[in-house]
Amino acid sequence: MISLKGEHIYLRALEPEDLDFIHEIENSQDIWEISNTITPYSKFLIKQYLKQAHRDVFDVKQLRLVISNYENVALGMIDLFDFDFKNKRAGVGILIKDSVNRQKGFGKEALQLLVDYCKSQLDLHQLYCNISEENEKSLKLFNNQGFEVIGLKNDWNYVNGSYKNEYLLQLILN
């Protein structure tokens, strides 16, 4: 049986109490580049999203989990998106909200837990992620977890007046 609990963190479902945490993340312009967002989200819309967060990953094609420490402090989020049951694959995104909590192994542990969950519970064959060519820390994180760069998308994202390249990484699970 797989656990979503690690040594320092655990992954949990979204709760109504996460409203302010998610609102801060979704409205942080510092994060918009990695989330491909250009507009803020209202608390009303996030409340509506949280009301639907209990729906099954097979139904809504995504799963968002909170990365929490054992003092029950939300540190970030990890997502499965574009869940494709037929082809047994999904995209992965991860974010540690505050810079003081980055580079401490929380992202690594969260990614390990999610990969194990995807293998054992969701029976996925592969995971993929999209990472900006400039995001060396995320590239290192995913590379160290076995993800391989399989392509470079040139001029993929338009950010602050210029185009940026984005890598496509893939992990074959079985």
- The better pLDDT of the pair 143, 61 is held by 143
Q: What is the pLDDT of residues 79-128, one digit of tens each?
A: 999 999 999 999 999 999 999 999 999 999 999 999 999 999 999 999 99
Q: CA–CA separation, 27 vs 37, rounded Å?
A: 9
Which DSSP category does 136 fall into? H
Judged by DSSP in three states, 151 sits in: strand
Instruction: Give the position of tokens 């909170």.
Output: 66
Q: In the CATH scheme, what architecture does the domain 9-172 have?
A: 3-Layer(aba) Sandwich (3.40)
Q: What is the pLDDT of residues 20-50, one digit of tens each?
A: 888 888 877 776 666 667 677 787 877 777 7
Percentage of residues in the chain having pLDDT higher than 70: 93
Is the pLDDT at 2 greater than 90, yes or no? Answer: no
Decide: 85 and 58 in contact? Cβ < 8 Å: yes
- Averaged over 62-70, what is the pLDDT? 95
Strand order in the sheet with 126-132: 9-13, 63-69, 74-84, 89-96, 126-132, 162-172, 148-159
Supply the pTM of this predicted model.
0.89
Q: What is the mean pLDDT of the chain?
A: 90
Supply the Cα-derived Rg of the chain in whole angstroms.
16
